[in-house]
């Protein structure tokens, strides 16, 4: 900056010099108290309440806060990595050598300034903006980055960052409007206590039932306009944050919201609540309970005497179908291939053996081709089916289906129509999936699901279609259209 000859910046206002006597009469800055300073005319009153934001503004604010937290976490990760990398070069020796003349006293011991500087160097800010520092241990070792990083997704490569993962959320961090029943369900989902897609759907609907029962429309509002944005959406956001929403939950929530929007603005609250509770009860009975019974009956009819049924893991529909076929008098053998990580197939093998069914249990996919060649049919349970007929199932399902198709063994998939996705298509396992939170490290991570192309599936058994409930995998959209309009041909 250019300055004039007297050293003041050019363009700065000129200040008349004061004499020593005048300076002595002016009060010092330390003598000026806050009480003596006049309040600003534009100051906001202490009891003033901020203006109420609209729904769009609240949503934009929440989105901005989420982006800020994500950026802060990345910045903290980079800072911690840089600090850990330069710690070895800049840290003082444990033997105490290398002291400077300004940091040590005459006796050779570190002075107060050096001690304060060491204390500052030994503090490491917690990622995520926490104010409590972590200090070095007595031997001078820094805590590992993994112990400091709160976000377990930080070790996942960026190319897989779009894949979701369940996480435990403290109930104190949940929205104030989240119902206690929904809080408990979210914790169960995050810890995989409630794991199956239909079990999660049933639990969600029952939790929403409690929310509806305890709901009271605020004065000046109507249920059809207030319930979804202010009550239902916070419950959905919390459950989705605990674990990514499964396909059946998404379909059911969409239908529930459509039911709420159909209510007239003048519909009495009691009548609307009764209609919603009846909708949930009928949905559970028809789309879950009865659907399982019909699918089990249709699949059991496809199991013949002396068949060797090959299945993978434990799926509720496959289990019900096999038990129903045995109850109907069919005698057959079962080969259970298991996931070496989850070991759910062990439970299925125990249940079948208690019924007298001969079961061969394999703890892994070793010898898969031989097992598929010896089997007469393959029964697989599906988590969902995409619009193009691809099956979304537990990791390893695709391997079994491909091996069976390669040796000519028919593959039968079992799935409820509530798990059909009419909008999305996929051909790989990386577009829609979940990361196993229990097996996630910097070296590797595990995906919970895989995708089986429709060409490896011979038939899909549902609760709705023809008399047998059997249809090709490519007929997903046709089944949904006929379900919505029985007269549609």
Domain count for the chain, please give it: 2
**10 Å Cβ neighbour count for 9?**
9
Give the Cα separation of 383 and 401 in Å (integer). Answer: 15
Do 263 and 359 lie in one domain? The reply is no
The encoded tokens of residue 49 equal 């309440």
The domain boundary residue, chosen from 256, 291, 326:
291
- Show which of 291, 318, 344 is a domain's final residue: 291
The answer to whether position 96 is within a domain reads no
Please check whether residues 451 and 310 belong to one and the same domain: yes
Check whether residue 282 and residue 309 sit in a common domain: no
* CATH number of the domain residue 420 falls in: 3.40.50.10470
Residue 139 phi, psi (nearest 5):
-90, 5
Measured CA to CA, the distance from residue 455 to residue 397 in angstroms comes to: 14
Q: What is the pTM of this model?
A: 0.69
Tokens (6 digits) for 56: 């769009």
pLDDT of residue 414: 96
Give the pLDDT of residue 339.
92
Task: Identify whether residues 317 and 453 lie together within a single domain.
Answer: yes
Look at residue 252 and tell me if it is in a domain.
yes
> Which among 196, 207, 199, 266 has a CA at the least distance from the CA of 231?
207
Taking the chain (489 residues) in consecutive chunks of 10 residues, what is each chunk's mean pLDDT? 44 43 44 42 50 74 82 76 54 40 42 46 40 36 40 80 88 86 95 94 97 94 94 95 95 96 93 96 96 95 95 97 96 95 94 96 94 96 94 96 96 95 92 91 89 95 71 82 66
**CA gap 437, 451 in Å, rounded:** 20
Does 408 lie in the same domain as 285?
no
The domain of 342 spans 301-484
386 lies in the same domain as 283 = no
Do 249 and 189 belong to one domain? yes
The pLDDT score that the predictor gives to residue 468 is 53
Other beta carbons within 10 Å of 260: 19
Residues 6+ positions from 72 with CB-CB distance below 8 Å: 128, 129
- Same domain? 312 vs 454: yes
- Is residue 132, in this structure, part of any structural domain at all? no
Which domain-ending residue is among 291, 314, 333?
A: 291
Verify that 273 and 216 share a domain, yes or no. yes
In-domain check, residue 80 = no
So what's the pLDDT on residue 48? 54
Q: In this structure, what CATH number is given to the domain that contains residue 251? A: 1.20.120
Instruction: Let me know: does 210 contact 181? Beta carbons within 8 Å.
Output: yes
Give the pLDDT confidence score for residue 485 in this predicted structure.
65
């Amino acid at each position: 900056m250019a300055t004039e000859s007297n050293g003041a910046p050019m363009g700065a206002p000129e200040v008349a010099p004061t004499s020593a006597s005048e300076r002595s009469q002016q009060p010092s800055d330390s003598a000026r108290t806050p009480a003596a300073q006049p309040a600003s005319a534009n100051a906001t009153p202490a009891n003033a309440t901020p203006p109420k934001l609209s729904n769009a503004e609240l949503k934009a604010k929440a989105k901005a806060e989420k982006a800020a937290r994500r950026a802060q976490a990345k910045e903290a990760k980079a800072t911690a990595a840089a600090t850990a990398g330069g710690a070895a070069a800049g840290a003082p020796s444990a033997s105490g050598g290398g002291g400077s003349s300004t940091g040590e006293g005459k006796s050779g011991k570190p002075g107060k300034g050096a001690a304060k500087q060491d204390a500052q160097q030994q503090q490491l800010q917690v990622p995520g903006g926490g104010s409590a520092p972590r200090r070095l241990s007595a031997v001078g070792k820094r805590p590992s980055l993994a112990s400091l990083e709160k976000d377990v997704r930080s070790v996942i490569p960026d190319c897989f960052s779009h894949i979701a993962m369940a996480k435990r959320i403290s109930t104190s961090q949940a929205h104030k409007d989240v119902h206690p029943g929904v809080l408990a369900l979210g914790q169960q989902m995050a810890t995989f206590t409630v794991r199956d897609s239909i079990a999660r759907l049933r639990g969600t609907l029952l939790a929403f039932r409690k929310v509806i029962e305890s709901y009271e429309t605020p004065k000046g509002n109507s249920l059809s306009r207030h319930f979804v944005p202010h009550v239902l959406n916070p419950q959905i956001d919390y459950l989705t944050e605990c674990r990514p929403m499964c396909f059946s939950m998404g379909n059911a929530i969409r239908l529930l919201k459509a039911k709420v929007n159909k209510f007239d603005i003048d519909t009495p609250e009691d009548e609307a609540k009764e209609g919603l509770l009846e909708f949930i009860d009928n949905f559970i009975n028809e789309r879950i309970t009865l659907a399982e019974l019909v699918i089990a009956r249709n699949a059991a009819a496809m199991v013949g005497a002396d068949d060797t049924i090959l299945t993978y893991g434990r799926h509720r529909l496959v289990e019900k179908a096999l038990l129903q076929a045995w109850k109907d008098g069919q005698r057959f053998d079962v080969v259970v291939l298991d996931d070496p990580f989850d070991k759910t197939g062990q439970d299925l093998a125990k249940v079948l053996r208690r019924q007298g069914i001969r079961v061969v249990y394999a703890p892994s996919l070793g010898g898969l081709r031989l097992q598929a060649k010896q089997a007469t049919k393959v029964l697989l349970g599906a988590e969902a089916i995409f619009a193009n007929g691809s099956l979304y199932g537990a990791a390893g399902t695709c391997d079994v289906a491909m091996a069976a198709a390669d040796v000519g063994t028919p593959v039968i998939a079992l799935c409820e129509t509530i798990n059909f996705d009419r909008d999305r298509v996929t051909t790989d396992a990386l577009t829609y999936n979940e990361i196993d939170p229990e097996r996630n490290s910097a070296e590797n991570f595990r995906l919970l699901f895989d995708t089986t192309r429709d060409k490896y599936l011979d038939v899909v058994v549902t609760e709705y279609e023809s008399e047998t409930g059997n249809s090709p995998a490519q007929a997903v959209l046709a089944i949904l259209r006929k379900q919505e309009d029985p007269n549609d041909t």
